């Protein structure tokens, strides 16, 4: 069956470091992959989209990679700040958008 | 623009009661979605609509019904609420294929069924 996995354990890092979040999937051939940010008590907010024929996408301090051979996407936040603390969701387009369970990121000053 | 709004924000129901959640968007989007979010489960698609007057089942449709009588509104109904439907419900919308694939989410409705 189709499955998306994100690190269920929270990621704790120091301010200024690079945060790397992982999204793995099985039994999918997604046309594209998206990353969303969700703050407590709020709806998800779109961050980035990367297509299957793109290896890497950047937006300011954010970078996403998409390896269709490994069936994995990595989401990087460089020079992280406490304001980056949130839950980050990956989502795959496989007919409809399918979401992972999210990884909570905590950036300590 | 208000974006996507949801009514109500919170609700407590007793088992067997019914209710309707309202989602409204002012972005003229064709596609609208209803998700539920439970701890450790991520967002799961309940029902969706690709245009006014059309609806389709998602991953977890049982116990829910929807209607899209107007393009800007998408209603989610619970006919006989069960404790298993305790969750946070999110509505989302997006333009049709060919435009941005980004989904715009509402602030959510926290529903508790006792």
Which residue from A99, A91, A33, A95 is spatially nearest to A67, judged by alpha carbons? A33
List pLDDT tens digits, range B67-99.
999 999 999 999 999 999 999 999 999 987 665
**Which residue from B45, B106, B107 is facing A96, i.e. has the nearest CB?**
B45
**Which residue from A45, A96, A102 is facing B58, i.e. has the nearest CB?**
A96
Taking an 8 Å cut-off on Cβ atoms, the answer to whether A89 and B103 are in contact is no
Considering just the CA atoms, what is the radius of gyration of chain A in Å?
13
User: Across the A/B interface, how many CB contacts are shorter than 8 Å?
Assistant: 48
**What pLDDT score was predicted for residue B98?**
66
List pLDDT tens digits, range A30-80.
888 999 999 999 999 999 999 989 989 999 999 999 998 999 999 999 999
Collapsed DSSP state (helix, strand, coil) of residue A82:
helix
Strands (E), chain B: 4-7, 10-13, 19-25, 31-38, 42-51, 54-57, 64-67, 73-78, 87-94, 104-105, 109-113
Contact A40/B at CB under 8 A? no
What is the distance between the alpha carbons of residues B42 and B107, in angstroms, rounded to a whole number? 16
Residues on chain A touching B103 (C-beta within 8 angstroms): 34, 44, 46, 97
């Amino acid at each position: 069956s189709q499955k998306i996995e994100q690190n269920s354990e929270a990621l704790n890092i120091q301010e200024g470091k690079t945060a790397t979040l992982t999204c793995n999937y099985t039994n999918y051939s997604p046309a594209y992959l998206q990353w969303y940010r969700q703050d407590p008590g709020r709806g998800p907010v779109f961050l980035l989209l990367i297509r299957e024929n793109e290896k890497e996408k950047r937006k300011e301090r954010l970078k996403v990679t998409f390896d269709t051979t490994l069936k994995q996407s990595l989401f990087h936040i460089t020079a992280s700040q406490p304001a980056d603390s949130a839950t980050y969701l990956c989502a795959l387009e496989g007919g409809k958008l399918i979401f992972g369970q999210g990884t909570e990121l905590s950036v300590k000053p | 623009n208000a974006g996507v709004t949801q009514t109500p924000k919170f609700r407590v129901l007793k088992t067997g009661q019914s209710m309707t959640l309202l989602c409204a968007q002012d972005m003229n989007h064709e596609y609208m979605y209803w998700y539920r979010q439970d701890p450790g489960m991520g967002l799961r698609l309940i029902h969706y609509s690709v245009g006014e007057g059309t609806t389709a089942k998602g991953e977890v449709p049982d116990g829910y019904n929807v209607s899209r009588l107007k393009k800007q509104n998408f209603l989610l109904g619970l006919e006989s609420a069960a404790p298993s439907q305790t969750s946070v419900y999110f509505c989302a919308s997006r333009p049709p294929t060919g435009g941005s694939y980004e989904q715009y989410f509402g602030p959510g409705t926290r529903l508790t069924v006792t």
